[in-house]
Amino acid sequence: MNAKLLSIIAIILWLATIAVAATFFVRGNTAQGTDGRTAIVLSGAERDMVLGEMRGLLSSVHDVLDGLNKNDMTQVAAAAARSGMGSAADVNPAMMAKLPLAFKSLGMSVHHDMDALAAAAKQNKSGAEIQGMLTDTLGKCLACHATWQLQTAN
């Protein structure tokens, strides 16, 4: 084979590899769920990590609401910041590749929302405004849970 043909073959293989990787990045590791939702297939440890992050978000929501009830904007800001983008910084890239793009986008938007909520509390926005922001964020949680389920790989 000549060099030109080898170059063309190499480029075709390179493009095919990128196409497969891009498809996997967008689709993630999914299957048909048991209840009509799309299942994201993870290892047991990965599933536990995602569920732990969700419990952390729920704990933050509880503490935000408790702070609003007490009119304690310092508590509200601290609780929201706990689930901001800083909490998503150390996620394993291999696991992130298994998550569908829509799931990743929704999850990251919730972390951004929590940072915005913390900033609003630090700026002494009204409790009603912060509660409205939290309601919008919880709508994203509901949409996620209505769309996805987590399964462990067999």
What digits encode the pLDDT tens for the residues 123-134?
999 999 999 999
Query: Which two three-digit tokens encode residue 131?
Result: 């509660």
Q: Is the pLDDT of residue 23 over 70?
A: no
Fold of 3-152: Four Helix Bundle (Hemerythrin (Met), subunit A) (1.20.120)
The b-or-e profile of 113-127 (16+ CB within 10 A means b, else e) is: bbbbbbebbeeebee
Report the distance separating Cα 60 and Cα 47, nearest Å.
20
Write down the pLDDT at residue 129.
97
Write down the pLDDT at residue 79.
98
Average pLDDT over the chain, rounded to an integer: 89
Whether the pTM exceeds 0.85: the reply is no
The average pLDDT across 74-81 equals 98
